[in-house]
Structure 1
Amino acid sequence: MARHAPSRPHYAPPRLAGTSFKHEHLGAILDEGLTDGFFEVHAENYMGAGGPPHRALAAIRERYPLSLHGVCMSIGGPGSLDVAHLARFRDLVARYEPAFVSEHLAWSSHGGTFFNDLLPLPYTRATLDSVCAHIDQMQTAIGRKILLENPSTYVAFASSTMSECEFLRAIAQRTGCGLLLDVNNVFVSATNHGYSARDYLAAFPLEHVGEMHLAGHSEQHDDEHMPLLIDSHDRPVADPVWDLYAEVVSDIGAVPTLIEWDSALPAWPELRAQAEAARQIMTQHTAPDSVRQCHEA
């Protein structure tokens, strides 16, 4: 792949508030802008060599920092990483020099087949060793640290020997990676499994957080008529998630925050308003000197 790397550095100010980038919004973004904004794309949508997707992304990258968010690396899978996929990911990092690079604590492939899901994994020592080895391999390949996102889950493994927060802390300590705290995922998982989202956040290794995600979720019921939340990314952020976000910001200061909205897309002004709401919370709940220094992730 030819490299067309912009000159914008990896550093990004802590009070950035951004959104998912969708091509439908390109014209409005270029016309109306997003103050102190950034945009996230899924890496797998840009692994071709050129064409309209890259022209649109290059236009955004000339004006704003990018977050490159992987969804198919299968870091949590038991098998080896797909080296061809990793090479394509590496080339994208070199091409666009994003402010943030992230992946999920999940697995999504087996035996050469990719699944359209981010699947959970047991939190055991053996899994920890495998995940850390995969992160080391990925960070070595791209030449920089990644941020690892906490998952939204719908089942839990009886074989787990540590909590999710303990698992994430151990990963960050062993690999040097940062963490991407998805507050909506916390709320979704807590509701689905019947534990306190606030207790989870109290145990979360917040000192390693380099970016946060917010998103909307849908409400369903399981076969026993208990609440079941789906991390659907198709509506505004729910009030309880905003409340949790404000509490985290009050605790650790401003951290670049992104609104994920991937389907049932609204008009650009509605999506931009969600980002502006996140920035307002960062301004209201942090002192001028209470910001996280978000250098290269």
Structure 2
Amino acid sequence: MATLPARAGVSFRHEHARGILAGRPDVGWFEVHAENYMGAGGPPHRLLTALREAYPLSLHGVGLSIGGEGALDTGHLARLAELVRRYRPESFSEHLAWSTHEGTAFHDLLPLPYTETALARICAHVDQVQEALGMRMLLENPTAYAVIPGSEIPEPEFLAAVARRTGCGLLLDVNNLHISATNLGFDALAWLDALPLSQVGEIHLAGHCVDVAADGTRLLVDTHDRPVAEAVWQLFARVIARTGPVATLVEWDADIPAWPVLAAEAATVDRLLAEAAAPADARAPALGAAGAPR
């Protein structure tokens, strides 16, 4: 199966669909949430069929509950496998999180303790997904807002172990990493040192908000409703200086802006990827959040 081009990708939104399909903007690829296309047909599938004919495609899952204690929902997995068969995406990814328990869906991506028991369970789930889909999946690092009691294995080592045991790839969400490092007070670069960056098949960027408590304590919240923050751009540049160009998505899931805003974010990604690919002596000055040299 083909892989995504090492360019900027953008979340596909119905608000932009008509303009995208008519104008064919210069975007490397598009991502859709798999669960939005699990119906049998109708307008969503007509749009996705037209998009797939024009662009490489990434399916991103939010409902498999890879980290859940129970068995995977075989009906959900069958619907996902049908989507993969129908659209042949270049990539499929899911989260290192859980979202269901005993048949109840919580519509959130919830954290789990990183233990040997959890590692064995998640590896079994990843194996089951990859066998059902007939393709390698990518596993995404989550956001963290508190230390989960009972964890025994550092997160990057846990992700590395899943990749090693199952052959899956990793999806590095740089915004999630920045949020977690800020909220929990750890060094994001040291975290990256422990991650097998050679297994990263896709990168995500997104916006976040900052909540400030009465005592001045700051908490970063993963909202996907605004431009990528300067600190995230800078961390992204550090990542791709190590990895070289990697397919990178600009996620924007709420308060959807006009298309030119998303296109500008994607253009900044493409400029940074080109910078990472250039010989060291030919590289331009570092780019700020707006894409201007600093």
TM over 0.5: yes
Q: TM-score, normalised by structure 1?
A: 0.91
Separation in 2, partners of 1:117, 1:221: 23
Match 1:108 to one of 95, 99, 102: 99
The one-character-per-residue Cα deviations of 1:233-283 (angstroms, maximum 9, x if unpaired) are: 000000000001011111110000000000101100110111111010000
Q: Assess if the C-alpha contact under 8 Å between 1:211 and 1:256 holds in 2.
A: yes
Q: Assess if the C-alpha contact under 8 Å between 2:32 and 2:60 holds in 1.
A: yes
Separation in 2, partners of 1:186, 1:179: 13
Letter in 2 for 1:11: T
The one-character-per-residue Cα deviations of 1:67-110 (angstroms, maximum 9, x if unpaired) are: 10000100001100000000000000111111110000000000
The one-character-per-residue Cα deviations of 1:128-167 (angstroms, maximum 9, x if unpaired) are: 0000000000000011110000001112223111100010
Q: Assess if the C-alpha contact under 8 Å between 1:10 and 1:97 holds in 2.
A: no
Match 1:47 to one of 33, 38, 61: 38
Report the number of matched residues.
280
Q: TM-score, normalised by structure 2?
A: 0.92
How many angstroms does 1:225 deviate by? 3.6
The one-character-per-residue Cα deviations of 1:192-219 (angstroms, maximum 9, x if unpaired) are: 1111222222222211100000000011
| CA distance 1:167–1:57, change in 2 (3 Å) | same
| CA distance 1:222–1:81, change in 2 (3 Å) | farther
How large is the RMSD of aligned CA atoms in angstroms? 1.5
Dislocated runs of 4+, deviation >6 Å: none
Corresponding position: 1:13 with 2:13: no
Which segments of 5 or more consecutive residues in structure 1 lack a partner in the other structure? Answer: 1-8, 289-297
The equivalent of 1:155 in structure 2 is 146
The equivalent of 2:286 in structure 1 is none
How many angstroms does 1:125 deviate by? 0.2
Corresponding position: 1:283 with 2:282: no
The equivalent of 1:134 in structure 2 is 125
Of structures 1 and 2, the one scoring higher in RCO (CA 8 A, sep 6+) is 1
Match 1:274 to one of 251, 265, 273: 265
The equivalent of 1:92 in structure 2 is 83
Match 1:22 to one of 3, 8, 13: 13
How many angstroms does 1:224 deviate by? 5.1
Separation in 1, partners of 2:72, 2:214: 36
Q: Pairwise mapping of residues 1-297 of structure 1 onto structure 2 (< 5 A)? A: 10-14=2-6, 16-222=7-213, 225-287=216-278
The one-character-per-residue Cα deviations of 1:154-191 (angstroms, maximum 9, x if unpaired) are: 12223111100010000000000000000000001111
What SS does structure 1 have at the residue aligned with 2:220? strand
What SS does structure 1 have at the residue aligned with 2:54? coil
Separation in 2, partners of 1:260, 1:190: 20
